[in-house]
Amino acid sequence: MRYTNNKSRMGIRYVLFRFAAGVFTGIFAVMFFTSVSVGQTVTTGTLIKDMVDLDRLADYPEKNYKMIQYSSYDRRSDQPNGPGWFSNNDGFGGEPIPNFEAVLEEPGEDNVGTYLLCDVEGPGAIVRGWTAYIRGTVRVYLDGSDSPIYEGPMPRFLQKTYMPFLEQLNDSNLSADLLEGTFFQRQAGYFPIPFEENLRIEWTGNIDKIHFYHLQIRKYEEETDVETFTPQDLVTYEDEIKEAAQILSNPDKGYSYPEGSAVSAAVGADETGELFAHKGEGAIKRLKLKVDAVEMDKALRQTILNISFDGSPKGQVQMPLGDFFGAAPGINPYVSVPFTVRDDGTMIARFVMPYKESVSIKVQNKGNQHVKVHGSVVQTDYDWKTDRSMHFHAKWRIDHNMNRYTPYDLPFANIRGKGIFVGAASILKNPIEIPTTGGNWWGEGDEKIFVDNEEHPSIYGTGSEDYYNYAWSSSDLFDTPYAAQPRNDGPGTRGFVTNNRWHVVDPIPFQHNLSFNMEFFQHTQNPNFSYARSSYYYARPGAIDDHMPISDEDVRHLELAKWSPKADGRASGAKFYQIESLVKDTEQIKLLEHNLWADGQLLVWNPREKGETLSIPFEVAESGEYRLWMTVAKMKVSGKVSISVDDADVGFGGENGILNLKGGFLNVLRNYTSKKLSLEKGSHTMTVRYEGDQNDAEIGLDFLWVQKQ
């Protein structure tokens, strides 16, 4: 590894950790590039166009590059299956080996030092940043400059990089509102910054404090023409930025298609029906499908979508129909660049699917009910390129009855051939009874992506949710252009959970092979866990993978069992009270029955007007310091409430002490907690006050827990 960028300006000692460990695990240990790049120069403008260009994904990149990721992963994970392979000190602070490429300046008395985040030689481009939290100052140098193009807070660089550049410009019509939710997505930022010769990033901060980070870079082959980013690019390419932001803000509206050809197939149990077939050269631009069945959740998982291009005997797409659209199990609405799921059950795929000679789309019913699948296919002419065109692949696998606390690498895809990886989804049943993420969290593990015979993954992450662009095992539902959590039942991350991510501006090219693995790393033992994984990629003809035929056992119907909250993890020592056992007034309450709710029941209170209250008496066994928790439902028909204890505000969160329990399409359970408070032994009363203005609100209250501090 060669460093050329003003190495002596700090007068410091330089340490390469991986060499110190005796094993070179650097990002550039293995690189494979294809033939000389052709076509136009890579600019900020071309990269911004890539952010919404789905057509280009079907062709192997003209501008050949390797996708690399610098992150704060635990540097003891230096050898696959070695002693430190599952080490998890990846940004919490106080790591045995600093989570950077090198120490540039040892920490002083204030424990603040300077560290090398990356030093990339040759042409390239930053395409993604992410952080859960990191303090300190980052300096970004392009092409050997003595002056950083950016110097300031690290989160601003990783998540909202274009903002400080906009603030420098007087002639830009771009706004923060335009970039929020488009270029800035959840905890991730997608902010193309190309460089011609070198990228060097240094961080100054306290390494004993939290410092999570990801930085993804396209590393182009040496002959590639790249025009280095300047702040003025935000003026030069203003139209490209506005157009991309418009599409990213509403992909359903941003991508326009004709109506397409109507398709339909009715299939009985164990039957297969053909939805669509075509002979000749072409491409599917949009696939829109809907399922009709008595038991929809079963049908969406047990109806298998098979798409075969150019006579493939196995088919390049083999996936449960609902899972294919990235939001299983059931219908879970969300909108992203390549996929949309609507609350009426309409599911849309926008990944382009080319073929040279033929295509066949079939559905196989592995369930025991009659199913009808209908929708439309938008087909277009396509010029199959002998040296670059690729088939679209989507494969699915699942493991049931998992109960492993010791982490291990869970395979998503192992591919041999040439192509690009464009997306993944985790689709889970998490039946654990601990009611908080501090105990029911499933995703402590990291993604590990090996490309082209690497000895160490060039993409090594810091947590499953970090790969999916969020952080801190958050349970809230969200969708962004490139990632979503369309389902998370709760409380915490209990129940059915779905995460997805789409690599549109950051696809991962491979010339020979790609192995995508995610550590399965839970907080505690968890019987009967099910983990389905979906992988999406394009590949040249002749590519193979380790996909196995989907069995009846794979798609057996999954349901949550009846459960009771367990005092373990961060719920240790808690005393749980089911609300229906505490409330005696029956005039304005009813019970809903479903295994989403603890003990199978949810008390639903129906206040008639603002200001009405519901009293919930509870007992405290001994005087002391306590924290109170309420586990409540967020439902479409819910409203706003405030919560007090013994007529005092005890800090149950929310704006001005008001909790908005109004949810969306799905009913979910969420936890709310008080501040620490002193409670005397004996009887106490929690009061829920309705703060909304709708007369038909339903306030779902599941259980109260009292936890001694």
More confident: 175 or 38: 175
Residue 19 lies in a domain: no
Residues 203 and 128 in one domain: yes
Residue 32 lies in a domain: no
Residues 244 and 279 in one domain: no
The C-alpha R_g of the chain, in whole angstroms, comes to 27
Whether pLDDT at 1 is above 80? no
Residues 582 and 491 in one domain: no
Across the beta sheet with 15-16, the strand order is: 15-16, 102-105, 112-121, 198-206, 137-142, 150-153
pLDDT band, residue 31 (cuts 50/70/90): very low
Q: State the pTM of this model.
A: 0.93
- What's the helix, strand, coil split of the chain in %, to 5? 10, 40, 45
Domain closes at, from 545, 564, 588: 545
Residue 639 lies in a domain: yes
pLDDT at 582: 96
Angle at 150 between CA 210 and CA 176, to 5 degrees: 85
Q: Which domain holds residue 580?
A: 573-708
pLDDT band, residue 403 (cuts 50/70/90): confident
Residues 220 and 355 in one domain: no
Residues 598 and 651 in one domain: yes
Residues 195 and 310 in one domain: no
Domain closes at, from 195, 224, 249: 249
Which CATH number belongs to the domain containing residue 410 in this structure? 2.60.120.1390
Residues 305 and 267 in one domain: yes
Phi-psi sector, 223: left (phi>0), alpha (psi -120 to 50), beta? alpha
Whether pLDDT at 461 is above 80? yes
Residue 598 lies in a domain: yes
Whether pLDDT at 33 is above 70? no
Query: Where does 553-694 show beta strands of DSSP type E?
Result: 574-578, 589-593, 601-605, 613-620, 624-634, 640-645, 648-649, 659-660, 668-673, 677-679, 682-690
Phi then psi dihedrals of residue 145, to 5 deg: -65, 145
pLDDT at 506: 98
Q: What mean pLDDT comes out for the span 493-517?
A: 98
Q: What mean pLDDT comes out for the span 560-571?
A: 96
Residues 539 and 655 in one domain: no
Q: What mean pLDDT comes out for the span 269-273?
A: 97
Q: What mean pLDDT comes out for the span 130-154?
A: 97
pLDDT at 39: 66
Percent over 70 (pLDDT), the chain: 94
pLDDT at 433: 97
Residue 28 lies in a domain: no
Residues 266 and 241 in one domain: no
- pLDDT (tens digit per residue) in 169-211: 988 899 999 999 999 999 999 999 999 999 999 999 999 999 9
Domain closes at, from 249, 284, 318: 249
Q: What mean pLDDT comes out for the span 233-258?
A: 97
Looking at every residue in the chain, the average pLDDT score rounds to 93
Q: What mean pLDDT comes out for the span 523-528?
A: 87
Whether pLDDT at 4 is above 70? no
Per residue, the 3-state secondary structure of 494-558, as one string, reads: CEEEEEEEECCCCCEEECCEEEEEEEEECCCCCCCEEEEEEEEEEECCCCEECCCCCCCCCCCCC
Q: For the beta carbon of residue 82, count every other beta carbon within 10 angstroms.
A: 12
Q: What mean pLDDT comes out for the span 449-473?
A: 98
Percent over 90 (pLDDT), the chain: 89
Residue 619 lies in a domain: yes
Residue 550 lies in a domain: no
Residues 291 and 354 in one domain: yes
Q: What mean pLDDT comes out for the span 267-276?
A: 97
Residue 20 lies in a domain: no
Residues 205 and 89 in one domain: yes
Nearest to 373 by CA among 310, 422, 408, 325: 325
Which CATH number belongs to the domain containing residue 676 in this structure? 2.60.120.260
Total count of domains within the chain: 3
Residues 154 and 106 in one domain: yes
pLDDT at 20: 37
Whether pLDDT at 500 is above 80? yes
